[in-house]
Amino acid sequence: MNVVKPLLLLLKNYSLVKKLTKFATIGFLTWLIEVTLLALMVELGDLYYLRAAAIAIVFSNTFNFTFNKLWTFQNKEKKAVKVQLPLFIAQKVVGVAVYLFLMYTLVDMAGFWYIYSQIICGSLIGIFNFTFCGLVVFKQRAARKARKRI
Q: Which amino acid is at 42?
A: V
Quote the CA–CA distance of 104 and 121 in Å, as a whole number.
10
Largest CA-CA distance found in the chain, in angstroms, rounded: 68
Residues 49, 38 contacting (CB under 8 angstroms): yes
Rounded Cα distance, 27 and 109, in Å: 29
Average pLDDT for residues 50-73, to the nearest whole number?
A: 96
Q: Is the pLDDT of residue 141 over 80?
A: no
User: Of all residues in the chain, what percent carry a pLDDT higher than 70?
Assistant: 87
User: What whole-number percentage of the chain has pLDDT above 90?
Assistant: 81
Q: Are residues 14 and 28 in the same domain?
A: yes
Residues 37 and 82 in one domain: no
Do 65 and 85 belong together in one domain?
A: no
Indicate the pTM of the whole model: 0.79
Query: Of the residues 50, 72, 94, which one is the last residue of a structural domain?
Result: 72
* DSSP run (H or E) holding 75: none
Same domain, 2 and 65: yes
Domain identity same for 89 and 64? no
**Domain range holding 66?**
1-72
* ∠ Cα 105 109 113 (to 5°): 80
